[in-house]
A and B are shown apart, each in its own frame.
Chain A
Amino acid sequence: MELVLDIATWILLLAGSVLLVITGYGLLRLPDLYTRIHAGGMADTLATTLIFIGLALQSGFSLITVKLLLVIVFIFFTSPTSSYALAQASFVAGLKPKLDGFGAVKKPDEDA
C-alpha cells in the first residue's frame, strides 16, 4: 500500500512539474499577451492542483490533508480570476490581440 501511494505521488508530482515547465516555455515563446495569459493561467492551475494532490496522498488522513485541499479550492477560485482580471484590464487599457501576421494562414485573396 505504501508503495502504491509512493508511486502515485511520484507520478502526480512529475506530471505537475512537467506542466509547469511547459507553462514557462509557453510564457516565453508565445507571441502575444493574451496567448501568454492563456498558457499561464490554465496549465498553472492544473499543475498546482496535481502537485498538491500528490502531497495530500503522502500525508494520509490528517489535518494537513484538509489544509492542502482547502488550498487547492482556493487556487481553483483565484487563479482563473486573476487571469480574467489581467486580460480584462489590458483590453480596457487598449491592447488589442494580435490577430494576423502569424505566417501560417494564407489570406483568401492571395490565391487568385
Chain B
Amino acid sequence: MLLLIAGTMTVLMVRNLFVATMLLGIVSFTMALIFISLDAVDVAFTEAAVGAGISTVLYIGTLALVGSQEKERAKFAVGPLVICVAVGAVLYYATYDMPQFGHPDNPVQTHVAPRYIQESPTEIGIPNMVTSVLASYRGYDTFGEVTVIFTAGIGVLLILRQRRRRRTDANKDAKDTPLDTDRDGKGSSLSGLGSNHDLVPHVIAKLLIPFIFVFALYVQFHGDFGPGGGFQAGVIFAAGIILYALVFSLDLARAVINEKAILFLICAVVLLYGGVGVAGMLLGGNFLDYNVLASDPVAGQHLGILLVELGVGITVTAAMLAIFYAFVGRADLIEEASQRGEK
C-alpha cells in the first residue's frame, strides 16, 4: 500500500511522461497484487492484462505522436491543493460511518450477494461465480458495456482514421515485396515497425505468438471454471496481434487482419450478443433469458454464457486492435505528409 502511495506521488511529480507511463504500469501491477490478496482473482487478471499491458502501449503510442516532455510550471498551484485537502478531509470524516473492513455482516454482503452465492451452483452450474453473475445474472450490464467498447472503438476510428486514398500506393508496393520490411528512410521511425536487424525478436515472436493465442483461447473457455472469461481473453488475443505488429511491420499485421475485418468483427459480435437476447425472446422467455435456449435450463444457461463470453472476447479484441491500428496508422499519415511536404 505504501508502494502504491509512493508510486502515485512520483507519477504526479515527474516531468518526463515516458517515466510517468512506466510508473503507471507499476502502480497497476501493484494494484493487481493487492486485488489478489483481497480475493478478487478475476479482477486482478484483468487489471494486470489491461492496466499494465494495453494501457502502456496506448500511452506510449500517444507519446510518440505528441512529445514526451512536460513544461515546467511557473508557480505552485495553491487552489487545487486546497480543494484536494478539503475534499480529503470531508471524505475522511465520512469514513467513520462506513462499515468495518471485511466484516461478514456488512450491508454489501447481506443484500443480494447471498442469493447469488447460494443459488448459482444449482441454477447455473458453473464454478466461477463471477462469470455466472457477469454473463447471466447481470447480463444487461455486460451488454451495455460491450456497446460502450464498440462505441469507443468506432469513436477512435472516426477521430484518427487515415484516409484510404493515400495508402493504396504504399499498399501495392508492400504486396509486391512481402518479405522486404526495410523500406527507404523508414527503418527507425514509428511507421517502420520492423527492420532487418531484429533477428532475435523475430524468432522469439514467431515461436511464442501461437502459444499466446492458445493461452487466450484457454482463458476464454476456461472462464467458467477458474479466473478468466471474455475480457481477459480478448485483451490477450489483441496483445498477441499487437506483438506481431510491433516486431514485424504494421503492413504485415494489416495483411493478417485488415481494417475491414476488424470493423466487421466489432459490429458482428454486438449483433451476436443482441441476437442471443432476441433468441431468448423468440423462444418464449424474456430478453437475455438463457433458460429457454436448450431443453434443460442449466444447459441453456451454459450455452448462453458460452455465446455471450465469446461475443465479449471478440469485441474486446477487435476494439483494442482498431484503436492500436488507428494510433499507429496516424503516425504513418504524419510521416507521409511530412515526406510529401519536403519533396
Contacts and interface: CB of A to CB of B under 8 A. Distances in A.
Q: Do A and B contact each other directly (Cβ–Cβ < 8 Å)?
A: yes
B207 A93 contact: no
Interface string A63-101: 000000000001001100100110010001100000000
Contacts of A92: 188, 195, 197
B204 A81 contact: yes
A78 B198 contact: no
B197 A88 contact: yes
A85 B201 CA distance: 7
B200 interface: yes
B207 A85 contact: no
B16 to A, nearest CB: 14
Contacts of B198: 85, 88
Interface in B207-265: 207-208, 211
B15 to A, nearest CB: 19
Contacts of A84: 200-201
A81 B188 contact: no
A78 B204 contact: yes
A74 B201 contact: no
A87 B54 CA distance: 22
A88 B197 CA distance: 9
Interface in B169-216: 188, 195, 197-198, 200-201, 204, 207-208, 211
B105 to A, nearest CB: 34
A78 B207 CA distance: 11
Nearest to B205: A81
Contacts of B201: 81, 84-85
A108 B201 CA distance: 40
Interface residues of B, number: 10
Contacts of B211: 74
Contacts of A93: 188
A61 B195 CA distance: 44
A78 B204 CA distance: 8
A99 B197 CA distance: 23
A112 to B, nearest CB: 42
A81 B197 contact: no
A81 B204 CA distance: 7
Interface string A10-30: 000000000000000000000
Contacts of B200: 81, 84-85
Nearest to A91: B197
Interface in A35-74: 74
Nearest to A73: B211
B204 A77 contact: yes
B201 to A, nearest CB: 5
A76 to B, nearest CB: 11
A74 B204 CA distance: 10
Contacts of B207: 77
A12 B13 CA distance: 38
Q: Which of A81, A92, A93 has the most CB of B within 10 A?
A: A81
Contacts of A81: 200-201, 204
B36 to A, nearest CB: 14
B26 to A, nearest CB: 12
A77 B208 CA distance: 9
A29 to B, nearest CB: 18
A78 B208 CA distance: 9
Given A77-B204, A78-B204, 7 more contacts: A74-B208, A77-B208, A81-B201, A85-B198, A92-B188, A92-B195, A93-B188
15 contacts: A77-B204, A77-B208, A78-B204, A78-B208, A81-B201, A81-B204, A84-B200, A84-B201, A85-B200, A85-B201, A88-B197, A88-B198, A92-B195, A92-B197, A93-B188
Interface of B: 188, 195, 197-198, 200-201, 204, 207-208, 211
Interface of A: 74, 77-78, 81, 84-85, 88, 92-93
The 8 closest A-B pairs by CB, nearest first: A81-B204, A84-B200, A85-B201, A92-B188, A77-B204, A81-B200, A81-B201, A77-B208
